[in-house]
Structure 1
Amino acid sequence: MTANQSPRWLRYLAIITVIGTYTMLIMGAIVSKTESGRGCGSSWPFCHGQLIPETLPLETVIEYSHRIVSGGVGFLILLLTIFSWMLYKQNQKVKLLAGMSLFFVVLQGGLGALTVVFRGGLEQKAALALHFGFSLISFASVVLLTIYLFQLAKNKAFDRDLVHIPSGLKVATWGLTFYTYLVVYTGALVRHAEATMGCGYSFPACGVTYFPNLSSIAGIQMLHRYAAISLWLVTLWFLLVVIRKYMHRSDLVKGSIWAFVLITLQAISGIITIQLDGQVMAALVHTTIISIYFCILSYLCMQVGLPWRRSSK
């Protein structure tokens, strides 16, 4: 299929799926922040073993709504994957992005079910953190697929985009993205370990210390802070390198600038979240910004290509 034959309805479906996946991501954050994960008891996929629960306290409404939305989004991703594979049988990038979207939404759904059925201590908190991480990968994959479909429609997705991209920049881009993913897990652990206010309102230190015991909620909070600060510094370094050496690639320059702006806003929102005693709205803004930031980095990875793939000469 040529770029001019790219169906508009598929791109519309992709946009709707992006919105749905983002909604699923945010609703999952609401479930965690409001501690509504046990709103349906230990039964899954139904709520308290019923299709329609007899009683509907707020935590049940929140948890069951998240399950319903997740099921609907999973169906949208399935449709998008099937149609993408059918219409772009020879396009490996489309098939990869669509496949990742579907694989990780199924994986996060299965992991979410396990955290409901089986109770635990630290293991359950780690599983909940993984649940968010897999949701983020699914969201980023849908976003990248949508961008790529629009690139195909505008005849802008060509291998010549990979010309003069040295392996060093590719490794740096993918390395920054991978490190971001690890930092995201430290943030998810803060949320699920209820460590948002582990240092009270104190910032940047944790009370009178900078290095509390990592097994405490204060230690978990400070671990995330140090990871976030280092991420801000690395993103700044990455931006300066791109501006200095790759000004001819407007896509990389714009993406790097947006990445730095977003990680700065993320840092500010993190401080505000602490000052507001971890209020839900502040936490959702924090989650939204890091999700968009991760998508920007994933876009840069798509634009530079795989580290082990040689650029055209």
Structure 2
Amino acid sequence: MSSAAISVDAARLPSPALRRFAWFVLVYFIAVILWGGLVRATGSGAGCGDHWPLCNGTVVQHSPRLDTMIEFTHRFTSGISFFSAVGLLVWTFAGTVKGHLARAAAVWTVVFTLVEAVLGALLVKLGLTAQSQSPLRAPYLALHLTNTLLLLAALTLSAHLLSRRQGYTRATVRLVAPIGAVAAVIVVMMVGVTGSLAALGDTLFPARSLGAALAQDFSATSGWLVRWRWTHPTVAFFASVFLIWLLVRASRRTAHWDNRGLSALVLVLLAAQYVLGVLDVVLLAPTWLQIAHLLGADVLWAALVVLTARVVLEPAKAGSRE
């Protein structure tokens, strides 16, 4: 490749500031999601009553309870996340060339953020918070978690595609093994959804000991949410098969980049999730461990999305490795 071609290509790349901002927004969104997990784990979802977007009908809270502070903080940070997503969208369109794949990812980021806000509002208005055992809560939570994962995926793709030096427009990429990769991602999403339902069961029906928890799982008198807690580790086990396929394929060195380091990171994060999952069961899911498990899941999901993008969206022309 000539120096002239390199300079022209470099001129088409997004600014370093835009790339850093995209990764910052991703980290911020993960922090907001973790705080949302704290809201659920502590039963603080009803801290603002059934009012939305106001908290207990007002903006300024006078002598608020702890659950009110937790819920109000989540709403405030979620509001900032929306403006961050819009800012990323505007900056991405202004700072990239026509046909840049990050533009589509940024659009979907805003769409999923809006859906997240609507789902959050309905969660409050329908009373599916705190200790609510409504039959609507579990499927609603599954829908909410699915949208959250799609939102994180769109954000991660935005940051990744903005950071690419080749293969970042529709005309310069080719699809490689998309069916298998998409299947792997869907299965991992199922792990996340079943994990959120298991966490809800731990919150609504806490056990005093490991033996009592196991008895709950197999008791005919327990609610289906408790008796289905076994689905999470089971789905996680079978998801490993798909992940192994993806990791083996990604570990092959190509003319464009070397994925071995990222594959190793995904493998380490996966192992850490299994360890945290076992501790979650043994220690009866304390709040801090639930948040640590959620953090590991979010980071693993982001790393997996990047790895999948590098495998599936391969640059059409050979170049130097990234």
Same-fold status (TM-score > 0.5): yes
2:125 aligns with 117
Alignment of 1:154-165 (within 5 A): 157=168
Paired residues of 2:105 and 2:157 also in contact (CA < 8 A):
yes
2:96 and 2:32 map into 1 onto residues whose CA distance is: 27
Q: Give yes or no for the alignment of 1:85 onto 2:93.
A: yes
Kindly provide the CA deviation profile for residues 237-282 of structure 1, in whole angstroms up to 9, marking residues without a partner as x.
Answer: 4434554xx2447544333332222111101101112222211211
Residue correspondence of structure 1 range 260-279 to structure 2 within 5 A: 260-279=267-286
Aligned to 2:180: 172
Aligned to 2:113: 105
Aligned residues: 303
Between the aligned partners of 2:221 and 2:239, the Cα distance in structure 1 is: 22
122, 135, 142: which is aligned to 2:155? 142
Asked whether the equivalents of residues 99 and 169 of structure 2 are also in contact (C-alpha less than 8 Å), the reply is no
In 1: Cα distance, 2:126 partner to 2:155 partner: 30
CA-CA distance at 1:33 after TM superposition? 0.7
Secondary structure at 1:221 match in 2: coil
Q: Structure 1 148/106 Cα, relative in aligned 2: closer, same or farther at 3 Å?
A: same
Q: Distance in 1 between matches of 2:277 and 2:88?
A: 34
In structure 2, relative to structure 1, the CA distance for the partners of 1:3 and 1:35 (3 Å cut) is: farther
Which residue does the alignment assign to 2:131?
Answer: none
Aligned residue among 283, 295, 300 for 2:307: 300
Please name the residue that 1:15 is paired with: 23
**Contact 1:14-1:142 within 8 A present in 2 as well:** yes
1:32 matched to which residue of 2? 40
Equivalent-residue separation in structure 2 for 1:305 and 1:131 (angstroms): 27
CA–CA distance in structure 2, aligned partners of residues 228 and 63 of structure 1: 30
1:202 Cα shift? Answer: 5.5
How far apart, CA to CA, are the structure 2 residues paired with 1:295 and 1:41? 33
Aligned residue identity for 1:263: L
Q: Is the 8 A contact 2:47 2:71 kept in 1?
A: yes
Q: Do 1:242 and 1:253's aligned partners in 2 also have CA atoms closer than 8 Å?
A: yes
Distance 1:76 1:158, change over 3 A: closer
Q: For the Cα contact (< 8 Å) 1:29–1:287, is it kept in 2?
A: yes
Counterpart of 1:95 in structure 2: which amino acid?
R
Shift of 1:206: 3.8
CA contact (8 A) 1:206 1:212 kept: no
Query: 1:134 is aligned with what amino acid?
Result: N
Identity rate, percent: 20
Q: Distance in 1 between matches of 2:82 and 2:187?
A: 27
Residue 55 in 1 paired to residue 58 in 2?
Answer: no
CA distance in 2, matches of 1:200, 1:102: 43
TM-score in terms of structure 2 length:
0.82
Residues 121-178 of structure 1: CA distance to partner in whole angstroms, max 9, x if unpaired?
12123223322332232223222211221224xx574789967x753xx322211011
Q: Give ranges in structure 1 of 5+ residues lacking alignment.
A: none
Counterpart contact for 1:199–1:218, Cα < 8 Å: no
Cα-to-partner distance string for 1:35-72 (whole Å, 9 max, x where unaligned) = 11100000001100100123311100000000000000
On the 8 A contact 2:101/2:170 being kept in 1, the answer is no
Tell me the equivalent position of 2:292. Answer: 285
Structure 2 unaligned segments of length 5 or more: list them.
1-7, 129-133
